[in-house]
Chain A
C-alpha cells in the first residue's frame, strides 16, 4: 500500500489509540437506547479503528494478527473479505431473527419490548431492551460491510 514506512510516532499513537476507540465504540453500542449512541455510530467507529490499523500497519498485520486468517495469496478472496462477509451476514441474521422472535411470541414482526430486572446486587434495577439485539445486528452489518469495502478497495 504505502511506499513510505509509517513513522514511529504514527505507529505508537495508533497502538495506543485503537483499543480506546474500540472500547468507546462498544460503550456507545451498549448505551445507545438511553443516551446518544447506538448501533450505527458504534459500527462506524469500530471500522475507523480497523481502518487506522490498515493505513498505519498494512493489511498483512490486520489479517494475520487481528482477524487471524491465512495470508492473502493463499485465499480466493482479497484480504479477509470472507470473514467480513460472514460478519455482515451474521448481522442480518441477528436483526431478522430478533424480528422473527416477536412473531413466535404472537406479536407482529419486529415488535420490541423491555424487561425490568429488579433486585440486582450493584445496579438495583436493570432495563433490558429487546431492541438491543436488533441494534447488535445493525452494528455487525455496518462493521462487516464497511470493512469488506475497505479491504477490497485497499487491496487494489
Chain B
C-alpha cells in the first residue's frame, strides 16, 4: 500500500517543531520538558506505526519551475530505522527526566535532542541524495552540540571537535561519491537525477544500468571507496573509530540515543541502502574486511577499557563492524545478518548504556575496577543487565545470539564455497567473538561477585528504571521468539538490501550440530576458558594501546597539531601589513585564474588582419607608451604620478579620436581628480623612492607583466567576439527620439546620448547596484578609518 504523505511529513516535521519551541516549554515546565519531548517522540512512533506495511514514495513540490520536489520514501528498512529513532527516543527522553535532574543547559539539550531525532528520521526517509546528505550532516551537527554539552570542560570540547572533524570529513568523501553517482546517472538513466529510490527513474530502480555506466567510466571502485569512507566515519569503523570513545564525554542519555541506537546506525543504513546498487566482488572484499577487522580490533580494545562507558563505546564499534561484515557478504544470509543485528544491537546496547548511566548516577563512579556486587542494591537492574549483556555476548537464547549465528553461517558459507584464504573469515569472526564474550561477561560481573569497600549505591528512580526495563523486555521477547520479530519487521527490511528476491527468513534455536553452531559453541567455550585470565589480557591490551605508532589517536592529534602550526605560517606571510603583499597577491591571483580559464577554454585569439589605425591615433598611443615607460623609471612619487597622468590623458585623447566623447570626458575628470587628491597626500610621502631590492623589483615586474598580458588578452578576446544578434542595434533603434511622437514617450529612450540612455534607462538597475556599492565603500571608509578614534576597534 502507498504511504500517506501527510503522515510522513508530519512525522518528519514534528521533532523540528518541538525543537523550536523547546526553550519556551522549558521556561514554562522546567525539567518536565523531558516528558513533553517523550510525548513528541511517541507521536512520531505512532505516526510511523500507522504506515506499517506501506511502501512507496511521497513528495512535496518545492520549486515546481525547476522540477525540484522534496521526496520521502518508506519501506521496511527506513521503517526499521524510523522505529528505532522514535522508539528509543521515547525511552531516552523519559530517562533524561530523571538523569538530567539538576544539570545545566537543559533547554539546549532537549532542543538539540529533538532536532537530532528529526534529522535521523530524515536520514531514514530521504529519497534523494541531496536530502540524505543534508540530514546526515544535521545529525553530525546535533551530535557535536550534544557531545559538547558541558561546554566549559576542555575534554568535552576536545571530544566534540574530534567527532565533528572525523564524521564531517567522512561526510565530504561521501558527498563526492554522491556527486559522481549523480553525474553518471545522466548516462544510465532516462534523465540526470539525484533521486536514489522511489521513482521509476531513480538510481536503485535501474541498478543494473547504473552499475554498467559506473564501470564503463571506471568510477565503480572510486564511488565504492568514497561511500565506504563516509559510512566508516559515521559508524566508527577502524581506523576512524577514534571519535566514539571520546564521545562518551556526553551525558549518558546522549550516548544511549546517538552513539548506540541511532546516529552510528546511519552509516550501516547507508551500506544497506546502497547494497543492491553496488554489490559485487569489490564490495564484498571491502566491507567484509573492514567489518571483521573492526569487530576484532575494537573488541580487543574493549577488553582494555577501564571505564564502563568506554567499554560500551568500543563494543558499539565492534558490533557495527559485525553489521558491516554481514552486509559485506554477498549472499542473502549476509543481508539478514546486517538487518537483524541492527535491531538487536540497538535494543541491547541502548539498554546497557542506560544501565551504565544508572550505575554512574547511583554508585557515583564509572571505573570498572571500583564496581562490583551491585545486585544487592539494584536487583532489577541486575536482571536487566543479564538479559542485555548475554545478548551482547551472543549466548542463546538471548537476542544477540541469533544475529551472531547468522554471521557465522554467512562467513562459513563463503569459506566453504570459495575455500583457500577465505577460511580466514570464519576464523576471524570466532576470534573477535571470543573477545566480545569476554568483555560482555566482564560488564555483567559488575553486578555479581563481591562488593568493594566504600561503594554505596542507591536505588534508581522510576523514570530512570522503566526505560531500560522496557528495552530488556523487548530484548528478551526477541530472544524468546525471534521468528516473530523477523516476520514483523526484519523480513521486509531485508528485501530493501538485497538484489535477489528474498524468500522466508528463518531464525531459531539450532536443532542440528552444523558448523556455524559449532563455531558458536567454540566461541562460548573459549570465552569461558579465557575469562579467568581477563586481568592479564586487560593489562596486555593497555600496554599495546600505549604504543603511539599503532594508535590512530596519536595520528589524529599529530595531524591537528601540524595543521595548527602550518596555519600559523599564514598570517606571517599573508597578513604582513604591507600594501605590496595584498596588492601583489590579488593581482597575481586574478591574472593566474583568468589566464588559466582562457587556457582551459582553449580560446582562439582573433587573427591580426592589418593596421586599421589612423596616424594621429598611433602617435597618441606611442606617447602613452612613452609615459608608461617613464612611470617605471620615475625616481619620485611626484614624477610617478605625473607620468601616470600623462598616460591617462593620452588614453582620453584616444577616446576622443575614436569618437567616444562620453568615455573621454569620464577619463579626463577621473584623471584630474586623482591628480588633485594626490596633492592631498603629497607631504606625507618621502620625496624620493628608495633603492628597491632586486628580487622585489623582479617580482613586481613579473606581476605587472602578468596583469598587462591578461588585460590585453581579455580586450582582444572580448572585442573579437561577434555575436549573431548584437544588442547595440536594439539600443540604437530605441535610444533616441522617434520622428513621430505624442506628448508622452515611454517606449523609446528619448535621448541623443546613447551611453547615458543605457546607463539611466536601459540598464538603470545595474547603475542602481553600482551607486549602492559606491555608497557602501564610503560607509566602509567612514566606519573603519573615521571612527577608529572612538574606540570601536572590534
A interface residue numbers (CB < 8 A to B): 1-4, 28, 32-41, 44-45, 47-48, 51-52, 54-55, 76-78, 81, 84-85, 88-89, 91-92, 95-96, 99, 107, 109-116, 118, 127, 129, 131, 134-135, 137-138, 141-142, 144-146, 148-150, 152-156
Contact = CB atoms under 8 A, between A and B. Distances in A.
| Most-contacted residue by chain B among A41, A109, A144 (CB, 10 A) | A41
Given A81-B786, A95-B768, A127-B750, A41 B778 contact: no
A4 to B, nearest CB: 8
Q: Is the interface of A mostly helix, strand, loop or mixed?
A: helix
A86 to B, nearest CB: 12
Interface string B663-697: 01110011011001101110100000000000000
6 contacts: A36-B753, A52-B676, A107-B746, A113-B744, A131-B764, A152-B785
A3 to B, nearest CB: 7
A110 B765 contact: yes
A143 to B, nearest CB: 11
B670 to A, nearest CB: 6
Contacts of A155: 786
B786 A135 contact: no
A36 B661 contact: yes
Contacts of A52: 676
A33 B771 contact: no
Nearest to A32: B756
Contacts of B752: 33-35
B121 interface: no
A51 B750 contact: no
Given A145-B774, A148-B778, A113 B680 contact: no
A28 B662 CA distance: 11
A131 B760 contact: yes
B29 interface: no
Contacts of A144: 775, 778
B715 interface: no
Contacts, number: 174
Interface in B729-763: 737, 741-746, 748-753, 755-757, 759-761
A51 B676 contact: yes
Nearest to B684: A156
Given A112-B761, A114-B748, A115-B743, 5 more contacts: A51-B676, A78-B786, A81-B782, A112-B750, A144-B778
B769 to A, nearest CB: 11
Contact of A36 (B662, B681, B787): B662
B781 interface: yes
A73 to B, nearest CB: 11
Contact of B753 (A38, A48, A152): A38
A92 B772 contact: yes
A3 B755 CA distance: 44
Given A76-B790, A85-B782, A114-B744, A33 B672 contact: no
A84 B786 CA distance: 13
A95 B775 CA distance: 13
